Amino acid sequence: MNIHEYQGKELLAKYGVAVPKGGVAETADEAERIAADLGGTVVVKAQIHAGGRGKGGGVKLAATPGEAKEVASQILGMTLVTHQTGPEGRLVKKVWVEEASDIERELYLGVVLDRATGRPTVMASTEGGMDIEEVAAKTPEKLLKVPVDPALSVWPSTARRVVYGLDLPAELVREGVKFVTNLYRFYDEMDASLLEINPLVQTKDGRILALDAKVNFDDNALYRHEEVAAMRDEDEEDPLEVEASKFNLNYIKLDGSVACMVNGAGLAMATMDIIKLAGAAPANFLDVGGGASKEMVENAFRILMDDPDVKAVFINIFGGILRCDILAEGVVEAVKTVNVGVPIIIRMEGTNVEKGREILEGSGLDFTVGKGMADSAEKVVAALNR
């Protein structure tokens, strides 16, 4: 799960990670008040779940509270387009107003999981403010990776490796060690899946601060972090994906025209792939899961049909735990209640496949039955071109 920058900074501050002082505002007046409380020059930053906000005009300096009010009124309500939002952009509903920092150096600090070893890794670089993937690709010698033994967590010696790697001046080493240690403690205790402080800044007045914070959490661990779960901002997600999540359906909207309903994530991806190979494009990823009920299948079908770009539906089920007869009943019910104006191609194999086919055939509804993935995908494309 993603959260906003302001939420990340508030959470990090609780763990003793140094962040600039600031406050969140939903109106220009609030922004003005926060700027007045902070005193001096402030930065007004649009709060959306996407990077590249500065380039898109979503981050502005303001020398006075009055100016803060003015730039906040420009940013609030704007549709911000960045390289991560897609061309449609995102509506800005909140701004974060923080004290401006007098920057001496920009650095990078992150904590990620190294999947090859199954261990968290602290990543640090003197090339702050840049895309870290680019640093890793072009100048890998400038990216320091320090693996962490989860049984020990970050010990001072681990933190010192990071701090000295960042070339922090002697008087900031102690503060740096504290920063790294607390950041890791946050990563571990809060079940973060990714932490990126980019940039981490060394200020002219001798402090280090998290100027930006990208914080992602492990969805599977949200049950033990109610405070984080409550930070979910559904406005930042696709409405159909939000709807699907209510029914425990794994749905991701894509931009093609063939809706897919599949059981199992791997098979769902493979189904998208075969649609592409056959010359069409998938409209979504949808895994109805192993233990899908008739109701889940119905809801899934309704969500697929809510996408106006859909021109055909491909149902690909390999029955294991999910029995084909259950799937067939759900589809038949759904087709009766949802207005389906597009062709439906069904491929079923596995548990109770005969019963499933009988239910489909006996329903009197118009389905095309495919044999195997290739034949079915070809039938989908043929239906599209009809």
Q: Which residues are catalytic, by number?
A: 108, 196
- For residue 96, the minimal CB distance to other proteins (Å) is 23
Per-position x/- string for 173-212, each x denoting binding to other proteins as judged by CB under 8 A, each - no binding: ---------------x--x-x-------------------
Contact stretch for other proteins (CB under 8 A) within 28-36, 200-208, 258-266, 357-365 = 258-266
Among 277, 336, 361, 365, binds other proteins (CB under 8 A): 277
Q: What are phi and psi of 107, to 5 degrees?
A: -125, 175
- Tell me whether residue 157 or residue 220 sits nearer to other proteins (CB atom): 220
Helix and strand totals (H; E) in the chain: 13, 18
Kindly state the tokens that stand for 345: 């191609």
CB 183 within 8 A of CB 166: no
- The answer to the question of residue 365 lying near other proteins (CB under 8 A) is no
Among 172, 254, 342, 382, binds other proteins (CB under 8 A): 254
Among 210, 262, 310, 360, binds other proteins (CB under 8 A): 262
Among 39, 77, 147, 150, binds other proteins (CB under 8 A): 150
Q: What is the DSSP letter of 171?
A: G
What is the rounded distance in angstroms from the CA atom of residue 120 to the CA atom of residue 240? Answer: 33
- Alpha-carbon distances, residue 261 vs 66, 83, 317, 341 (angstroms): 53, 30, 8, 17
User: What contacts 106, CB < 8 A, 6 or more positions away?
Assistant: 128, 129, 199, 200, 201, 211
- The answer to the question of residue 116 lying near other proteins (CB under 8 A) is yes
- Tell me whether residue 20 or residue 330 sits nearer to other proteins (CB atom): 330
Q: Which amino acid is at 171?
A: E
Number of residues forming the site for other proteins (CB under 8 A): 58
- Tell me whether residue 35 or residue 143 sits nearer to other proteins (CB atom): 143
Site for other proteins in 44-103 (CB under 8 A): none
Per-position x/- string for 303-322, each x denoting binding to other proteins as judged by CB under 8 A, each - no binding: ---------------xxxx-
Helix (H) or strand (E) holding 214: strand 214-217
Strand 42-46, strand 95-99: pairing: antiparallel
- Alpha-carbon distances, residue 241 vs 99, 122, 203, 251, 384 (angstroms): 36, 32, 42, 6, 25
- For residue 132, the minimal CB distance to other proteins (Å) is 7
How many residues are given for the chain?
386
CB 33 within 8 A of CB 26: no
Applying CB under 8 A, the residues found at the interface with other proteins are 113, 115-116, 118-120, 132-133, 136-137, 149-151, 188, 191, 193, 218-221, 223-224, 250, 252, 254, 262-277, 281-282, 285, 287, 290-291, 318-321, 349-351, 372-374, 377
